Amino acid sequence: MFDSQGGIRGIKKNVSFFSNKRMAFYWIDYKDSSKNSISSAFYNEIDTIITVPAYRSLTYSSRLDVSKKNGEVFALCIDFDSITTYKFFNAALEEWKKHQ
């Protein structure tokens, strides 16, 4: 599953996804490539995942906070309605649990 946000007139875009192998987030700033970033983790590298629904977030965007065993932390930001958000959360957690 994935979510893609932004792309406003080609200025910036972020993408969050998980597959059967890993979770990843990337940010593309079309005007300033020094702001581009990519974060990912294979499931066996992940220590903890915390779900943060929009109502608990300062940015009003739901996210999964992914903590890797090496201490690195990144977020998968998603912008779905509440039902789809919980489906995304649950599917991501189930996929991670399959690989532990």
Task: Note the pLDDT tens digit of each residue in 10-67.
Answer: 666 788 999 999 999 998 888 888 999 999 999 999 999 999 987 766 556 789 999 9
Q: What are phi and psi of 64, to 5 degrees?
A: -110, 120
DSSP secondary structure letter of residue 59: T
Rounded Cα distance, 62 and 80, in Å: 8
- For 69-80, give one letter per residue: b (16+ CB within 10 A) or e: eeeeebbbbbbe
- Taking the whole predicted model, whether its pTM rises above 0.85 is answered as no
Cβ proximity of 25 and 75 under 8 Å: yes
Average of per-residue pLDDT across 65-71 = 97
